[in-house]
């Protein structure tokens, strides 16, 4: 039912019906006693994949990372590919939350809560990999600077330590920002709760929020500043991840464009993932009038734009490889296209450069099935991009005697599948138990929010 139908003029008629409708429609997702079967299905699949992954992680930790396919020159493979892939996916959430807020794009309010949740879950999935890939993850706490009897301190000059700080700052900021945004909506849930448990849980989480204007004032300032802080943060996080590669000497890794190129790629894959999640969600939970077609279309355009930035970076890298006269760099790029991993490179280019071109066409931007399929391919392509970067450079390094090949084992795949399960489980639970759309923010974008004001 369209909210435009309700009167927006000076207080006559029931202008507030629009607000009640938003509250009801969004809260219904959590309150509906009859949960859509697809939700159970998604949760079931998520838990199944999670348990597979849980077993695989247990086996990797107890036996050692020798159960993976990593070998001597390919020290990083699926583990780091997955890490970068997940972190990249998380970035769209922050972009939607923070950057679109700074750009005053009201359409973000329908998707920002779910996108922020997606960021947090993606970062959780990503964080698993750096920890278990060390082989002795129980020593992970050594990376936190603390006085110890060995008088040892972490090596802060290493990009891997920068990762520790960047990812933890990112996770912390995302969680705080997400929670802060949810407090007014948790208060809505609290006020609508019928059962004592729900009242207690939502009541505690809502911190006693009562919509006081004086509190809104500070809240809004903090929100704006957090959005302003999150923007350089999200740039820095994936830049720091790109530094893991770019600070090295490996051909194909050491190139100055990596930071903005990785950030653009992250936003690209993140938006694709947001759409993959939001399109089914809006149908399943009857949120089509809140998460509107124009919003999806706008996301498709952003995806296209960032995809073109990624394609642009490919071309620049290739050009400079030739221009530099560095034979190792030149070989690396030719090897990507014609060496043993040519099929991965082909997937990467077709999914990241060709597939997004479909979004030039309005038909493709408005058909939900086409969008989901394209977005899944984009995410596959972005996975291959990280894999191509890592594997082609490591399997063909400087000395031909070190050249090798890489084949994943079932534990590589199992752990990855497990993180997908973790993500799916958490996201499914979030959709059902927490306010999945930013109720207060959506209300603020309605024309009724200005009812009764003098111009």
| Window 169 to 188, contacts with other proteins (CB under 8 A) | 169, 172-173, 176-177, 180, 184, 187-188
Query: From the list 255, 379, 393, 395, which residue makes contact with other proteins (rule: CB under 8 A)?
Result: 255
Query: From the list 1, 10, 66, 367, which residue makes contact with other proteins (rule: CB under 8 A)?
Result: 10
- Kindly tell me which of 324 and 367 has the beta carbon lying closer to other proteins: 324
- Kindly tell me which of 154 and 280 has the beta carbon lying closer to other proteins: 154
Task: Give the shortest CB-37-to-other proteins separation in angstroms.
Answer: 29
The two tokens of residue 371 are 């969008």
3-state helix/strand/coil string of 54-90: HHHHHHHHHHCHHHCCCCCCCCCCHHHHHHHHHHHHH
- Kindly tell me which of 50 and 240 has the beta carbon lying closer to other proteins: 240
DSSP 94-135: HIIIIIHHHTT-GGGGGTHHHHHHHHHHHHHHHHHHHHHTTS
Task: Give the shortest CB-225-to-other proteins separation in angstroms.
Answer: 5
SS3 452: coil
d(CA 207, CA 30): 20
**284 to 323, contacts with other proteins by CB under 8 A?**
301, 305, 308-309, 312-313, 315-317, 319-320, 322-323
- Kindly tell me which of 157 and 363 has the beta carbon lying closer to other proteins: 157
**423 to 452, contacts with other proteins by CB under 8 A?**
439-441, 443-452
Give the count of beta carbons closer than 10 Å to the beta carbon of residue 248.
13
Please choose, from the candidates 90, 148, 113, the residue with its C-alpha nearest in 3D space to the C-alpha of residue 22: 113
The two tokens of residue 221 are 């300032």
Query: From the list 35, 55, 160, 254, which residue makes contact with other proteins (rule: CB under 8 A)?
Result: 254
Task: Give the shortest CB-154-to-other proteins separation in angstroms.
Answer: 7
- Kindly tell me which of 71 and 169 has the beta carbon lying closer to other proteins: 169
Does 324 contact other proteins by CB under 8 A? yes
| Total of chain residues touching other proteins, rule CB under 8 A | 118
Q: How far apart are the first and last CA of the chain?
A: 28
Task: Give the shortest CB-238-to-other proteins separation in angstroms.
Answer: 12
From 14-22, 287-295, 341-349, 380-388, give the range in contact with other proteins by CB under 8 A. Answer: 14-22
Give the count of beta carbons closer than 10 Å to the beta carbon of residue 217.
10
DSSP 154-183: --TTSHHHHHHHHHHHHHHHHHHHHHHHHH
Query: From the list 34, 104, 196, 363, which residue makes contact with other proteins (rule: CB under 8 A)?
Result: 104
**349 to 368, contacts with other proteins by CB under 8 A?**
360
Binding mask 378-417 for other proteins (x = CB under 8 A): ----------------------------------------
Task: Give the shortest CB-57-to-other proteins separation in angstroms.
Answer: 17
From 37-45, 84-92, 256-264, 403-411, give the range in contact with other proteins by CB under 8 A. Answer: 256-264
Query: From the list 155, 363, 399, 400, which residue makes contact with other proteins (rule: CB under 8 A)?
Result: 155
Query: From the list 192, 198, 289, 410, which residue makes contact with other proteins (rule: CB under 8 A)?
Result: 192
319's CB contacts (< 8 A; 6+ apart) are none
**196 to 225, contacts with other proteins by CB under 8 A?**
203-204, 207-222, 224-225
Query: From the list 257, 284, 337, 353, which residue makes contact with other proteins (rule: CB under 8 A)?
Result: 257
Binding mask 111-150 for other proteins (x = CB under 8 A): -------------------------x-x------x-----
d(CA 449, CA 443): 7
| 273 close to 362: Cβ distance less than 8 angstroms | no
d(CA 210, CA 44): 37
Task: Give the shortest CB-358-to-other proteins separation in angstroms.
Answer: 14
Query: From the list 197, 249, 399, 407, which residue makes contact with other proteins (rule: CB under 8 A)?
Result: 249
For residues 31, 37, 41 and 42, what is the CA-based torsion angle, rounded to 10 degrees? -40
Which is it for the CA torsion 311, 316, 322, 326, positive or negative? negative
d(CA 269, CA 306): 9
- Kindly tell me which of 316 and 337 has the beta carbon lying closer to other proteins: 316
Task: Give the shortest CB-104-to-other proteins separation in angstroms.
Answer: 7
Please choose, from the candidates 16, 1, 142, the residue with its C-alpha nearest in 3D space to the C-alpha of residue 446: 16
- Kindly tell me which of 37 and 453 has the beta carbon lying closer to other proteins: 453
Query: From the list 55, 165, 358, 405, which residue makes contact with other proteins (rule: CB under 8 A)?
Result: 165
Please choose, from the candidates 88, 67, 194, the residue with its C-alpha nearest in 3D space to the C-alpha of residue 133: 67
| 321 close to 333: Cβ distance less than 8 angstroms | yes
């Amino acid at each position: 039912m369209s909210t435009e139908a309700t009167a927006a003029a000076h207080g006559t008629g029931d202008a507030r019906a629009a607000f009640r409708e938003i509250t009801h429609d969004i809260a219904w997702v959590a309150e509906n006693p009859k949960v859509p079967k697809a939700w159970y299905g998604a949760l079931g699949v998520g838990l199944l994949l999670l348990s597979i992954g849980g077993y695989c992680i247990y086996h990797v930790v107890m036996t050692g990372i020798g159960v993976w396919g990593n070998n001597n020159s390919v020290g990083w493979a699926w583990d780091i590919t997955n890490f970068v892939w997940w972190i990249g996916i998380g970035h769209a959430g922050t972009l939607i939350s923070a950057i679109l807020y700074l750009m005053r794009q009201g359409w973000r309010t329908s998707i920002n809560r779910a996108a922020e949740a997606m960021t947090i879950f993606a970062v959780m999935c990503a964080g698993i990999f750096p920890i278990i890939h060390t082989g002795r993850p129980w020593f992970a706490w050594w990376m936190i600077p603390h006085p110890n009897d060995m008088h040892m301190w972490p090596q802060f000059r290493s990009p891997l330590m920068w990762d520790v700080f960047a990812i933890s700052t990112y996770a912390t900021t995302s969680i705080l920002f997400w929670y802060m945004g949810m407090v007014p909506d948790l208060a809505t849930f609290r006020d609508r709760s019928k059962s004592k448990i729900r009242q207690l849980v939502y009541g505690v989480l809502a911190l006693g929020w009562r919509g006081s204007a004086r509190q809104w004032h500070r809240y809004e300032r903090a929100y704006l500043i957090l959005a302003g802080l999150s923007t350089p943060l999200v740039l820095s996080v994936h830049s720091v991840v790109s530094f893991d590669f770019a600070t090295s000497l490996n051909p194909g890794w050491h190139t100055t464009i990596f930071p903005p190129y990785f950030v653009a790629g992250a936003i690209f894959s993140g938006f694709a993932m947001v759409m993959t999640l939001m399109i089914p969600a809006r149908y399943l939970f009857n949120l089509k009038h809140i998460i509107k077609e124009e919003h999806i279309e706008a996301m498709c355009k952003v995806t296209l734009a960032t995809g073109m930035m990624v394609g642009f970076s490919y071309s620049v890298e290739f050009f400079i490889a030739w221009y530099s006269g560095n034979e190792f760099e030149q070989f690396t790029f030719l090897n990507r296209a014609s060496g043993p991993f040519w099929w991965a490179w082909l997937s990467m280019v077709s999914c990241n450069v060709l597939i997004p071109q479909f979004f030039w066409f309005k038909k493709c931007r408005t058909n939900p099935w086409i969008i989901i399929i394209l977005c899944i391919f984009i995410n596959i392509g972005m996975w291959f991009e990280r894999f191509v970067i890592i594997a082609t450079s490591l399997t063909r390094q400087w000395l031909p005697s070190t050249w090798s090949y890489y084949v994943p084992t079932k534990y590589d795949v199992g752990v990855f599948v497990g993180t997908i399960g973790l993500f799916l489980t958490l996201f499914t639970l979030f959709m059902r138990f927490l306010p999945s759309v930013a109720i207060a923010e959506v209300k603020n974008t309605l024309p009724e929010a200005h009812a009764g004001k003098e111009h």
